[in-house]
A = this chain, B = another copy of it.
Amino acid sequence: MLPWLNLGLPRTTPAQTSHALNLSSYLARLVASGQATSRSELARVTGLARSTVSEHLAPLLRIGLIAEHEAEAGARGRPPSVLSLNPQAGVILVADIGAARGRLAIADFGQHFLAERSIRTDVARGPDTVLAEVRAEFLQMLAEHQVPSGSVRLVVVGLPAPVDFASGVPVRPPIMPGWDNYPVPESFQETFAAPVLVDNDVNLMALGEARCRPASQCPLLYVKASTGIGCGIVTHDGQLHRGADGAAGDIGHVRVPGHDAVCRCGAVGCIEAFASYAAILRKAGADSGGNAVQSAEANEAQLSGLVRTAAGEIGEVIAMLVHFFNPAVIVLGGRMTQYGDEMLAGVRSVVYRRALPLATRRLSVELSTLGNRAGTVGAVVLGVEHVLSPQGLRSMML
């Protein structure tokens, strides 16, 4: 007979987190996303009794996570007290660390960036150096905006590497010598007494883009073409797919025959070796015979053409992903979207030609709406969702 079947059970038993916390978390997220702004509205949306809503809202107000203020009247009856995440509930520190540059930000819970800054982060200098600079920069930003460092609720870090999300540790990063297994969370926890979340940078961008759109646009793929080529995956239910080892979305080293460029990973024919933005700049520099980037950047027309070609090659890979994953939306991001029109045209032409009509009929291919802020926005999203999760709420309520 058959071995018996391990029916689809949740990985955590439902009874582990209390029902009360689940409800509070759900209410908090409804408020945070703006889908409900008053107690009655929450009751309508959730189908719960108003009294139940009030009851579960009370602890959220008590710990100051949600604030209420008077609404200016205008409608008929008693004006509701408008609910929102309390901007004063604390701040989230966010670092989107790229290979060469990083973007730091301080965000409050009211969806505002209090401060934003771009710094040099040459990851090749090693984690000790880079993270120390990030910490110093954070402290300076906090001081400048007079945010007490005690109000830091969470630190979220994006790294251009595969990350084991549970432990927050980079695993075998191809381009970051010295970062393998480096305990990034500990390095921040010495300075800030707050939990630290670490994830792949492209995952964060994908999350940011996904949350700017209606849930019907999931499953969503975010494809970033800059120095490297990577991809973030958001599934049907809005969750990031990180894969078994945190390495999902690493499409830069997909091999496309017909090219013999040597990739930094050592292999030959990786898409990243000839269709990434870095590769294009190299090519432009070489063609113009001059000294690389400077002169090449000037030659807009030539670059446009190269982007268009590269976008087509990326489109070949995307067409394959469309077959396999059948997403509702493909979002294009990364530095190559400086030439957005060319990029879009290049990708679209190939995808709609190659892929079967069924999978492309309702597929939309778009440029990133968040641009180079996708990473920081996604990090804030991850942070807010973590704080508002049942586990996050429990830790706040002691």
In the bound complex, do residue B8 and residue A47 qualify as a contact, i.e. CB atoms below 8 Å apart? no
Distance (whole angstroms) from the CB of A134 to the closest CB of chain B: 23
Distance (whole angstroms) from the CB of A385 to the closest CB of chain B: 5
A245 to B219, CA, bound (A): 10
Of chain B, the residue at the smallest CB distance from A363 is B244
* Chain B positions within 8 Å of A214 at CB level: 6
In the bound complex, do residue A323 and residue B45 qualify as a contact, i.e. CB atoms below 8 Å apart? no
CB contacts under 8 Å to B, within A139-188, are 162, 171-172, 174
CB contacts under 8 Å to B, within A238-275, are 238-239, 241-251, 253-258, 265, 267
A8 to B388, CA, bound (A): 10
Of chain B, the residue at the smallest CB distance from A384 is B7
- Taking a contact as CB atoms closer than 8 A, the residue among B30, B356, B357, B381 that contacts A5 in the complex is B381
Of chain B, the residue at the smallest CB distance from A112 is B1
Distance (whole angstroms) from the CB of A304 to the closest CB of chain B: 25
Is A236 interfacial (CB 8 A cutoff)?
yes
Of chain B, the residue at the smallest CB distance from A47 is B15
Contact A244 B7, CB 8 Å, known A16-B47, A47-B15: no
Is A78 interfacial (CB 8 A cutoff)?
no
* Chain B positions within 8 Å of A111 at CB level: 1-2, 4-5
Interface size on A, residues (CB 8 A): 94
In the bound complex, do residue B5 and residue A250 qualify as a contact, i.e. CB atoms below 8 Å apart? no
Distance (whole angstroms) from the CB of A175 to the closest CB of chain B: 12
Of chain B, the residue at the smallest CB distance from A267 is B354
In the bound complex, do residue A215 and residue B250 qualify as a contact, i.e. CB atoms below 8 Å apart? no
Contact A7 B326, CB 8 Å, known A14-B22, A241-B236, A243-B219: no
Copies of this chain assembled into the complex: 2
A134 to B343, CA, bound (A): 50
In the bound complex, do residue A5 and residue B211 qualify as a contact, i.e. CB atoms below 8 Å apart? yes
* Chain B positions within 8 Å of A171 at CB level: 358
Cβ-closest 6 pairs across A and B: A243-B326, A244-B328, A248-B326, A5-B211, A172-B358, A7-B33
A319 to B9, CA, bound (A): 29
In the bound complex, do residue A258 and residue B255 qualify as a contact, i.e. CB atoms below 8 Å apart? no
Contact A6 B211, CB 8 Å, known A243-B219, A358-B171: yes
* Chain B positions within 8 Å of A385 at CB level: 7-8
A278 to B10, CA, bound (A): 39
Is A125 interfacial (CB 8 A cutoff)?
no
In the bound complex, do residue A244 and residue B6 qualify as a contact, i.e. CB atoms below 8 Å apart? no
A237 to B239, CA, bound (A): 11
CB contacts under 8 Å to B, within A202-256, are 211-215, 219, 231, 233, 235-239, 241-251, 253-256
In the bound complex, do residue A248 and residue B14 qualify as a contact, i.e. CB atoms below 8 Å apart? no
In the bound complex, do residue B235 and residue A241 qualify as a contact, i.e. CB atoms below 8 Å apart? yes
* Chain B positions within 8 Å of A35 at CB level: 6, 9
* Chain B positions within 8 Å of A388 at CB level: 7
A30 to B363, CA, bound (A): 39
* Chain B positions within 8 Å of A114 at CB level: none
Of chain B, the residue at the smallest CB distance from A208 is B5
* Residue interface bits A338-368, CB-to-B below 8 A is 1, else 0: 0000000000000000111111011100000
